Amino acid sequence: MIKFKFILLLFSCSSITAFSQKIEVNFNNEILLLNTIGKQIIGSETNDERYKANKNYKATLKKLINNEASFNYQFDSLKTISILKVNNLKIYNWALPLTDGTYEYFAFIQLKLEDKTYKNVELIDKSESIKSPERKTLTTKNWYGALYYEIIYDKKIGNNYYTLLGWDGNNNLTNKKIIEILYISGNGVIKFGSPILKTKKRMERRMIFEYSKEVTMSLKYHPEEKKIVFDYLVPASSKLKGIYEYYGPALKRFDAFLIGKRRWEYEEDTDITLDRSIKDSFWNDPKEE
């Protein structure tokens, strides 16, 4: 009888294990739907059609990330969206291209809190109404929208600080690249912009680089050197200073921000060689994908 009970117990345990393996979460149906809607956002002929598709996309994604299993899920097959994750932060971020050459940006942030619960927050793009954004602290409801392609986390900057590199297809004449600082308070409140970017003149809360649509600007993080390296932008002639549709990278000059103690330190004419063959075309223009 004892032997029979032992065998029965083993069978029960193996059945539970097998059952748990069978119910592994996947989001295949949601991914398929989102990929279909994503193509509609980019490919539809009118803004009304694009806004309608975007509304469906946002609702579908919001429902998906309400499932806590989404935080650790690898969405490798999900297209037309940037998904970045580091530490206890995950960002879902996409662009809505409009027919006049401008863009609106959308994002959800997932936070894993200290009590192991999850918090989802939507970001609201208010870029057009934000004046002097380099010096503003912004909120999730007043966000300087962009399409983020890299997230940097280093405890030397601060435990609750995240540095984001982003792209903005500003208008028909210029693009922008952005260094954004995201920080999270002890009670889980998200803010954007913190004066930890030390330039030659002052401390900035974010960096915005504007340049001609006809060129490509490099803005990349080099983890080995702990540097954000970027092209130094110059106008085509001195008479065009401040007219950013004529700005492009200077030949053989790169500047950088280096990780310092609780801030980024500006370095002029940094000594580094970039591989210009490594380009993310998606971040040049989502419509080209």
Contacts of 144 (CB under 8 A, 6+ apart): 125, 126, 127, 130, 133, 136, 138, 178, 180, 192, 193, 206
Across the range 111-131, mean pLDDT stands at: 93
DSSP string, 61-130: HHHHHTSGGGGG---TT--SSEEEEETTEEEEEEEEE-TTS-EEEEEEEEEE-TTS-EEEEEEEB-GGG-
The reported pTM is 0.86
> Which tokens hold the place of 24?
């592994």
C-alpha closest to that of 247 among 285, 283, 215, 208: 215
Q: Is the dihedral of CA 200, 259, 268, 256 positive or negative?
A: negative
Going from the C-alpha of 128 to that of each of 43, 111, 124, 142, the distances in angstroms are 24, 27, 12, 10
Pure H helices in the chain: 2-22, 28-43, 47-65, 281-284
**Structure confidence by residue, pLDDT tens digits, 20-34:** 344 578 899 999 999
pLDDT tens-place string over residues 144-180: 999 999 999 999 999 999 999 999 999 999 999 999 9
Quick one: pLDDT at residue 187? 79
User: Between β-strands 219-222 and 190-192, what pairing exists: parallel, antiparallel or unpaired?
Assistant: unpaired
pLDDT at 20: 39
79 Cβ contact partners less than 8 Å away, ≥ 6 residues apart = 35, 38, 39, 289
Q: What is the mean pLDDT of residues 257-275?
A: 86
Q: Are 105 and 93 in contact (CB under 8 A)?
A: yes
Distances (CA, A) of 83 to 135, 229, 230: 27, 22, 22
User: Mind listing the pLDDT tens digit for each residue in 23-66?
Assistant: 578 899 999 999 999 999 999 999 999 999 999 999 999 999 99
Q: Is the pLDDT of residue 223 over 70?
A: yes
Sign for the pseudo-dihedral over CA of 259, 265, 266, 268: negative
Distance of CA 40 to the CA centre of its chain: 21
